[in-house]
């Protein structure tokens, strides 16, 4: 029986009901873990958490330090878990791409089927961390904890936040209460769910927020406290549906672009994506996903040609509602709900691996 299984037995009755099936934690018959601690594997991808300041000034380069150096800076984490690690890549997350997403998810899924892996941490740049987190949230079926972590200050900066964030990530990944919550993000003492978390500051260490549903919990003094379940359907009447996308046979994803809305917006970005044969377009519209009339006409034309069009909003919080200000059914559009444009793009890419039909895609946006 695995570490979490043994702990669950010891505290049976304490465990909350989770909304996501805890497949691998149920089935994995673990090997005995040394010292009775969970086995946590870290996959490193770079970012400011691995960044280095070169001179006296603030200038730094992301993705400079290897994972061993980051682990070495936080020796106390070894009191929480048996730590192993590997370097997947070492890049600034502005350069994150689908090839690396697919490499990551294949490795994560391979590791999580192993009985001697109880949880995974992924170190990542903060710029696109939310997209990788949501991509994994939709493609990792295991209920074992998967936690993304980054930092806003480079590893050798005064007041570097990476070591504390990495320690917190180990706390979160090692906690049985983190199982079956989907992919999590540990940043600056908060724990967020992948779906809602977004970067809200370019520079502050409190760089992330979950604008629609708030953080799932917090980490204090080496313990994680969850305030709520991961059920974020607007009406809270039923558990989160979580159709997993099987990307095991894929080496690329359908092309989906984002067009940004503003006053007097031109149709040009839409027509460029249509001409480039993109299979999907996400609109970061104004307000409740509204569109300048020329952009509306171009998107309606794109939808009539079979290109999947999803309406999201450039506004930080609140849902883009289907059929309220704009007749989505008439235009063949899909409404993104509370997914921001960059998350809507991730879901649309995965949805398009199954169907191009707007009604079917809308169902996925309603439930993912």
Site residues for ligand SIN per CB under 6 A: 47-48, 62, 92-94, 125-127, 150, 152
The single residue listed with the structure tokens 């873990």 is 33
Instruction: Look up tokens 């199954």; give the residue.
Output: 354
Alpha carbon 340 to its chain's center: 12
Determine the Cα–Cα distance for residues 64 and 73; give it in Å rounded to an integer: 15
| Position with the least CB separation from ligand SIN | 125
- Give the nearest distance from C-beta 286 to ligand SIN in angstroms: 27
Instruction: At 132, list the tokens.
Output: 């990788």
Residue pair 337/366 in contact (Cβ under 8 Å)? The answer is: yes
Closest CB to ligand SIN among 63 and 261? 63
Could you give the CA distance from residue 41 to residue 351 in angstroms, rounded to a whole number? 29
CB 259 within 8 A of CB 283: yes
**Strand arrangement, sheet containing 119-123:** 82-91, 39-46, 119-123, 146-149, 184-187, 190-193, 217-220, 223-226
Give the nearest distance from C-beta 39 to ligand SIN in angstroms: 27
With beta carbons less than 8 A apart as the criterion, state whether 138 and 350 touch: yes
Distance in Å, CB of 61 to ligand SIN, minimum: 10
Sign of the four-CA dihedral 70, 73, 75, 76? negative
- Minimum Å gap between C-beta 67 and ligand SIN is 15
Q: Give the residue with the Cβ less far from ligand SIN, 92 or 332.
A: 92
- Closest CB to ligand SIN among residues 84, 201: 201
Give buried/exposed letters for 279-290 (b at 16+ CB in 10 A, else e). Answer: bbbbbbbbebbb
Q: How far is the CB of 170 from ligand SIN (least distance, A)?
A: 19
- 3-class DSSP assignment, residue 295: helix
Selection from 209, 248, 216 nearest residue 350 by Cα: 248
For strands 60-61 and 198-199, give the pairing: unpaired
| CB of residue 315 to ligand SIN, shortest distance in Å | 23
User: Is there a contact between 302 and 309 (Cβ–Cβ < 8 Å)?
Assistant: yes
Yes or no: say if 185 and 192 are a contact pair by the CB < 8 Å rule: yes
**45 or 82: whose CB is closer to ligand SIN?**
45
Instruction: Pick the closer one to ligand SIN by CB: 150 or 358.
Output: 150
Of the pair 150, 257, the CB lying nearest ligand SIN is at: 150
Catalytic residue among 25, 48, 132, 139: 48
Active site residue 48: yes
The residues assigned a catalytic role are 48
């Amino acid at each position: 029986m695995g570490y979490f299984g043994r702990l669950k037995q010891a505290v049976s009755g304490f465990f909350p009901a989770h909304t996501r099936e805890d497949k691998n934690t149920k089935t994995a018959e673990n090997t005995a873990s040394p010292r009775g601690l969970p086995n946590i594997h870290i996959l490193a991808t770079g970012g400011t958490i691995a960044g280095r300041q070169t001179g006296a000034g603030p200038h730094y380069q992301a993705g400079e330090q290897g994972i061993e150096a980051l682990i070495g800076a936080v020796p106390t984490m070894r009191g929480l878990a048996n730590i192993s690690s590997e370097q997947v890549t070492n890049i600034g997350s502005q350069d994150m791409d689908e090839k690396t997403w697919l490499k990551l998810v294949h490795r994560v899924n391979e590791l999580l089927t192993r009985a001697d892996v109880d949880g995974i941490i992924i170190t990542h740049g903060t710029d696109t961390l939310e997209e990788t987190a949501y991509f994994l949230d939709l493609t990792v079926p295991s209920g074992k904890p998967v936690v993304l972590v980054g930092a806003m200050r480079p590893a050798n900066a005064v007041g570097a936040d990476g070591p504390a964030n990495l320690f917190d990530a180990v706390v979160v990944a090692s906690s049985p209460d983190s199982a079956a919550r989907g992919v999590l993000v540990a940043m600056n003492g908060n724990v967020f769910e992948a779906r809602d978390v977004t970067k809200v500051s370019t520079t502050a260490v409190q760089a992330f927020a979950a604008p629609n549903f708030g953080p799932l919990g917090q980490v204090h003094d080496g313990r994680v406290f969850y305030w709520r379940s991961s059920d974020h359907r607007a009406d809270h009447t039923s558990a989160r549906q979580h159709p997993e996308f099987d990307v095991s046979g894929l080496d690329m994803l359908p092309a989906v672009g984002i067009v940004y809305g503003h006053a007097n917006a031109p149709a040009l970005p839409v027509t460029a994506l249509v001409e480039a044969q993109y299979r999907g377009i996400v609109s970061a519209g104004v307000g409740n996903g509204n569109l300048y009339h020329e952009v509306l006409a171009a998107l309606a034309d794109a939808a009539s040609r079979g290109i999947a069009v999803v309406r999201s909003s450039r506004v930080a919080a609140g849902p883009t509602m289907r059929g309220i200000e704009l007749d989505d059914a008439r235009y063949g559009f899909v409404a993104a709900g509370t997914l921001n444009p960059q998350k809507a793009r991730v879901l649309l890419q995965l949805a398009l691996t199954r169907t191009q039909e707007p009604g079917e895609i809308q169902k996925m946006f309603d439930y993912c």
